[in-house]
A and B are shown apart, each in its own frame.
Chain A
Amino acid sequence: MKREKLFTPFLFLTWFFTPANAHEPVFSLGPETIYQGGFGLETEFEFEESEDDRWAALHYEILYGLTRNITVTLSVPQILERNEGGETSSGLGEVTFRGKYNFYRKDSLGAQHKVTGILGIKLPTGEDETAPPLGTGTTDVLAGLSYGYESRTWYHFATFRYLWRTDRNGFNPGDRVFYDVAVGYRPWRREYLEWDFVTLLEMSGKCDFKSELEGAELLNSGGNTIWLGMTGLFSYRNLMIKGGVQFPVSQSFKGNQAKDGLRAVLAFEYHF
């Protein structure tokens, strides 16, 4: 039970808060790739709380456009504070490496349709012996698909991701599915070299499969949470500031598990 509690929240933060780029949803990943040869730097502050746990972290991310439709990203999280039951810890979190391949794009005047494949790997770089731990000690793999439509006025996105979790000392926290949809609106159709603002209504969901210990399913594991919230993306030329808050609107857990709480993000992104 204790081990289960230690693992579950951490993986939540690592894979939910994968800093998004461009006009992607703030709490998810979209189909966007950066231009060929382009670099992006992003710093993202994240906060998340549940009934018995609280997180605050900074993500440092660098992305590079290998081609116009392939972007690779390295993300390094610094856990500012993890507080669980009065115990706190901080330090390096789990480093992730992610690739995106945009295999479908249809352009029209002022609009783009895109479909992109996502593949990521989380490395066991976080300390997993501290209390509470900052890492899982495992290497996990994420794969997904993202569809997006962007126009001068409206945006919509749908993303599906699957996380394969590996065993550690006989414990497997169970695979996880992320499903996200978002609708965005640009109230003012600003020109280039003018500030631009887009607001999004984002719904994010996670569905956990049962955890296993030595091959036996744990009763207090598995479940589903859906968050809903508003986010905003403010940009000028190659600089973007974005952020938002999401609240849980639906939670169903198996057995006795801590409820999820709100989460918030504030990020700065710079392309060059």
Chain B
Amino acid sequence: MIRKTLTVVLPLMVMALISPLRGQVDEVILRVDGLACPFCAYGIEKKLKKLEGARSLEIMINEGKIVMEWNSDSTLDLEAINKAVETAGFTLRGVRASVRGALMSDSGMFYLLTPNTPEQRFYLYESAEITRPTFSEKESHILVTEATRNRLRQLLLHASVVRIAGPLHEEKHLERRIGLEIESLEEVSS
């Protein structure tokens, strides 16, 4: 009962503490295959600009990379991004993001909460231990190493806002739950 209450109340408390500017998806980077010419890339520009959260984008053809600045009020829909790339005639190989948010914990898993899009959670994991978390409600998964877990616990105690960057993936059967692989982690404030 207490745990359930905390699960609901704690995120709201933390969201109240952090300002909109301090928590958001800063940047989304797409790895796209098939980008052979600038003329053909126009279709992908048009499709991605239609996404609700895409504020601006830069297409780097030589690197097969597209960098998007993301609107802090918009949730990140990986399926919509994949569809935009696919209908433009290309193949999405990966999505990376830099996310600033409040560090939270639930059922042994850590996640980031961004204040403007509280319905979306970024669950943290490390690919070295488990390559793909399942986000099952019934099972408790250890998604990070013990060292990282201890560090996250420390940050959690201080109600820290952190910035985590890494690859993303989405479980199709669970809406608005995105896996964020910890490639870099820094404390923004406490």
Given contacts A110-B36, A196-B38, A235-B37, contact A191 B88 (CB under 8 A): no
Number of residues of chain B lying within 8 A (CB) of chain A: 27
- The answer to whether A191 touches B61, judged by C-beta atoms less than 8 angstroms apart, is yes
A interface footprint on B25-38 (CB within 8 Å = 1, 0 otherwise): 00000000111111
Report if B74 contacts A (CB, 8 A): no
B interface footprint on A157-197 (CB within 8 Å = 1, 0 otherwise): 00000000000000000000000000000100111111010
A interface footprint on B58-89 (CB within 8 Å = 1, 0 otherwise): 11111010000000000000000000001111
Given contacts A34-B43, A38-B43, A107-B90, contact A150 B37 (CB under 8 A): yes
- The answer to whether A33 touches B61, judged by C-beta atoms less than 8 angstroms apart, is no
- The answer to whether B87 touches A35, judged by C-beta atoms less than 8 angstroms apart, is yes
- A contact residues, range: 35 or more
B interface footprint on A38-70 (CB within 8 Å = 1, 0 otherwise): 100000000000000000000000000001110
- In the assembled complex, the CB of B87 is this many whole angstroms from the nearest CB of chain A, namely 4
B interface footprint on A96-113 (CB within 8 Å = 1, 0 otherwise): 000000000101111110
Given contacts A34-B43, A68-B89, A107-B90, contact A150 B60 (CB under 8 A): no
- Could you name 29 residue pairs across A and B whose Cβ atoms are closer than 8 Å? A23-B36, A23-B40, A35-B89, A36-B87, A37-B87, A38-B43, A38-B46, A68-B89, A105-B34, A107-B34, A108-B33, A112-B36, A152-B37, A152-B62, A189-B61, A191-B38, A192-B60, A192-B61, A193-B59, A194-B38, A196-B38, A196-B39, A233-B39, A235-B38, A237-B39, A237-B42, A238-B39, A240-B39, A271-B42
